[in-house]
Structure 1
Amino acid sequence: MTKLSVNINKIATLRNSRGGNVPDLLKVAADVQKFGAQGVTIHPRPDERHIRYQDARDLVSVVHTEYNIEGNPVKKFIDLVLEVKPTQVTLVPDADDAITSNAGWDTVKHKSFLQDVIAEFKSNGIRTSIFVDPVLEMIEGAKETGTDRIELYTEAFAHEYSLGNTAGIDHYVASAKLANELGLGINAGHDLSLDNIKFFKENIPGLLEVSIGHALVAESLYLGLENVVNMYLQKLK
């Protein structure tokens, strides 16, 4: 079964919009695990506009499944990850002003930088994953960085699927097959939803984990958080 890691950034966005602690981020993290999710993901940004760095620290005592911290490996982020020591760190090449993640790493151009960062995390017992586009050259480059896993950036797939173009998955299938051959674990995330997750999972060989936040929270407004988590789990079987 592919594991579901729930990204709780949007819960933090809602909390921060009014100040105070409603909704309670730590309670939501505890609840999604109680409902069956096998992990919790956060993506703190330098301006802390949703997840705050203190949230990352506070979640250590709450997350008893897999704890995944995503972000651009600037010094502040690296220091946070080394302090918190999550199960997994996912490296994402975000610009400071990015609304959301919008590209994978150029693993060839940034090979040396990624090698250094990944080596430091791995020496501290933290599993590493890097965000990549479904491009074979980038998958091969990822292998050279020493990362444990890749996370396939799935926005393009989700867009094509919403238009009825199921061939939009072809690049992802080829990338996954290559990753499997190279011994890289495969995660995926971005714009995955109840509408497309089953098709994606059924076609990607060796898919270990998906990280889903925006769609899951939006769907929960209508269907309820516990129900939606379980709907994802059923589709990921």
Structure 2
Amino acid sequence: MTALSINLNKIALIRNSRDTAYPSVTEHAQRCINAGAHGITVHPRPDQRHIRADDCYALAEVLDVEFNIEGNPLAPAMKSDRHGVSDYPGFMEIIRRTRPAQCTLVPDNNSQLTSDHGFDLQRDGDTLLPIIEELKQLGVRVSLFMDPDPNQIVLAKAIGADRIELYTGPYAEHFGGAQQQDTLARFVEASKVAADCNLGLNAGHDLNLHNLALFKNSVTALLEVSIGHAFTVDAIELGLDNCIAAYLDCLR
């Protein structure tokens, strides 16, 4: 069965809208796990707009399921301008301290509302190579956030990635429309290339209860999806336990 990893960024965003510790990120993570989620994902950014470095440390202390930390490995340390919030120590320093089961490297920056493209490894591959080597020395599985481009996926294997996470924003955008089949075909082909390269396959971004089952049943050997925004919205309507069950049904 494809693993379901719940992204907690939106829970942290709700908390950060007030000067409070509620809702608790760690308690929400445990509720998701108790309801059947296979893992927890977070994506700390230097501006700490949602998940903060301290959240990563707290989750690493309590989780007994797969912990996946996403982010830009080149993100530097940044001073916090919010009272009571510690400074951002840099993405790689968070990873060194937490040693999560999986690290998903993403080419994002603070000016982006959300992650919206994968790596260009012809440009960035040499920069990522020593980072990937360090992560492996730490015992961390390495996944690269990628577009469904076969040539780029081959390069991901060449620089030592263990998995790729396909950026599924275009699939979600075209789902139910005239371009659905052509767009899905690109992801199916990308998944076959990943399998041929012996790369594990993850996926994430704008997947939801409407489009997830078709994607899962179409691509080759999907190991894991991470879902946060849609999950948070659906949990408001369905309740958290029912929402987890609905997503697990899509992945069976």
**After TM superposition, is the score higher than 0.5?**
yes
Among 173, 176, 180, which residue is 1:159 paired with?
173
Q: CA deviation at 1:164?
A: 5.4
Task: Tell whether 2:92 aligns with 1:78.
Answer: yes
> In the alignment, what sits opposite 2:187?
172
Find the residue that maps to 1:100 and give its secondary structure. Answer: coil
Give, in whole Å, the separation in 2 of the partners of 1:145 and 1:226: 40
* 1:179-231: CA deviation from partner (whole Å, max 9, x where unpaired): 00000000000000000000000001110000000000011111111111111
Among 131, 149, 160, which residue is 1:146 paired with?
160
Task: Tell whether 2:226 aligns with 1:211.
Answer: yes
Find the residue that maps to 1:151 and give its secondary structure. Answer: strand
Give, in whole Å, the separation in 2 of the partners of 1:176 and 1:146: 17
Find the residue that maps to 2:234 and give its secondary structure. Answer: helix
Find the residue that maps to 2:31 and give its secondary structure. Answer: helix
Give, in whole Å, the separation in 2 of the partners of 1:82 and 1:230: 34
5+ long unaligned stretches in structure 1 = none
Among 127, 141, 144, which residue is 1:127 paired with?
141
* 1:151-186: CA deviation from partner (whole Å, max 9, x where unpaired): 000000001114254312111000000000000000
Give, in whole Å, the separation in 2 of the partners of 1:60 and 1:221: 26
- The residue type paired with residue 80 of structure 1 is I
Give, in whole Å, the separation in 1 of the partners of 2:170 and 2:144: 17
Find the residue that maps to 1:51 and give its secondary structure. Answer: coil
Q: Which runs of 4+ in 1 moved over 6 A?
A: none
- Aligned-residue RMSD, C-alpha: 0.9
> In the alignment, what sits opposite 2:217?
202
Give, in whole Å, the separation in 2 of the partners of 1:122 and 1:19: 38
> In the alignment, what sits opposite 2:203?
188
- Give the conservation status (yes or no) of the 8 Å contact 1:29–1:62: no
- Give the conservation status (yes or no) of the 8 Å contact 1:111–1:144: no
TM-score with structure 2 setting the length = 0.92
Give, in whole Å, the separation in 2 of the partners of 1:99 and 1:162: 25
Alignment of 1:25-64 (within 5 A): 25-64=25-64
Find the residue that maps to 2:175 and give its secondary structure. Answer: helix
Find the residue that maps to 1:36 and give its secondary structure. Answer: coil
Q: CA deviation at 1:107?
A: 1.3
Give, in whole Å, the separation in 2 of the partners of 1:140 and 1:108: 11
Q: CA deviation at 1:63?
A: 1.5
- The residue type paired with residue 77 of structure 1 is F
Q: Percent identity?
A: 43
- The residue type paired with residue 60 of structure 2 is V
Give, in whole Å, the separation in 2 of the partners of 1:26 and 1:146: 32
5+ long unaligned stretches in structure 2 = 77-89
- The residue type paired with residue 169 of structure 1 is L
Give, in whole Å, the separation in 2 of the partners of 1:56 and 1:186: 24
Find the residue that maps to 1:110 and give its secondary structure. Answer: helix
Find the residue that maps to 1:170 and give its secondary structure. Answer: helix
Q: Mean Cα displacement is larger for which, 156-165 or 169-178? A: 156-165
Find the residue that maps to 2:209 and give its secondary structure. Answer: coil
TM-score with structure 1 setting the length = 0.98
Q: Mean Cα displacement is larger for which, 4-13 or 112-121? A: 112-121
* 1:89-146: CA deviation from partner (whole Å, max 9, x where unpaired): 0000002221100110001211111111100000110000000000111111111110
Give, in whole Å, the separation in 1 of the partners of 2:245 and 2:198: 30
